[in-house]
Amino acid sequence: MKPSRMPAYGGQAIIEGVLMRGRHAVAAAMRSPEGEIVLQTEELSGIYTHRLFKLPFLRGLIGLWDALGLGMRYLTISANLQGKEEEKIEGGSAIVTVGISLLIASILFFAGPAWLGHLAERLFHLNSFASNLLEGFIRLAAIIGYIWGVGKLPEIARVFAYHGAEHKTINAFEDGAELSPSIVKTYPLEHPRCGTAFLLTLVIFSIILFTFIGPLPGVWRVLSRVILLPVLAGLAYEYIRFTANHLDHPLVRVFVQPNLALQRLTTREPDLSMIEVAIAAFSTMCEKEEEYSSKG
């Protein structure tokens, strides 16, 4: 039977592998340097099945935490699998690495554009509406430029190919197709619930919100971009959820086109071995979903 709505299933690419998450379980499949598929699973905390996860906007914050916390942890696990023993990232070094990454992202995509918008307002005597709008377009250009630039790196291009394998696998499953590499490969690279779509939606909503928020002193302008991030995450999540559940409507299909277009920057066509890894992650997650859900 073809599933009509599967909002509980999601995933992301990791180093030489794919992470798949359900409501009860998460499973990662990674290709080791020796060519073997290494699997790692765990049971998710009860927050994903708690009634709080059903509350609009709050579930978006949980989704953001999921992408940051769970995703970064499995990125570290997958990186350690590929590296030598002395190169592994563990304990304090892992926390420092994640902290520095989040700090750089905050500066590049939130504090930086806010400061540039404020600077442009003072230098060119722009009104607050124009400077906030300029800030939003700087933020959008920075994110798109960053994704395009890192996608040129061979290592990141492989991660993007695993991202494509993840999408193809979920698309095939939702179409009720057999999950074999040759069949899964025929499915699209894009998926409407992708994290890339979430990111673009968050940025677009930030342009709208910050453009109409009015003038603020420089420091408060920068701080407001960080403080209001949870609000934007909640709005973006609800938008993605709504569009994913109403793709049969022609107007919704028009609205999701920018999100799908941006995914062409974050996905690459995977080979069959990559798709095999994605299928292994998804199949294992489904098995664990059944096991853990029966316990409750």
Contact assessment for residue 184 and residue 170, using Cβ atoms and an 8 Å cutoff: no
Total-model pTM: 0.86
pLDDT of residue 101: 75
Give 165-208 pLDDT, tens digit per residue. Answer: 999 999 999 999 999 999 999 999 999 888 788 888 888 898 88
pLDDT tens digit string along 141-163?
Answer: 999 999 999 999 999 999 999 99
Measured distance CA(40)–CA(22) in Å, rounded: 14
Give the per-residue pLDDT at 7. Answer: 46
Residue ranges per domain, the chain? 10-295
What pLDDT does residue 63 have? 66
From residue 219, give the alpha-carbon distance in Å to each of 31, 216, 225.
46, 8, 10
Q: Mark out the alpha helices in 46-192 (DSSP H runs).
A: 58-65, 71-82, 91-106, 112-123, 128-150, 154-174, 181-184
Q: What is the pLDDT of residue 286?
A: 92
Which residues in the chain land under pLDDT 50? 1-7
pLDDT recorded at residue 1: 38
Structure tokens at 32: 């080791």
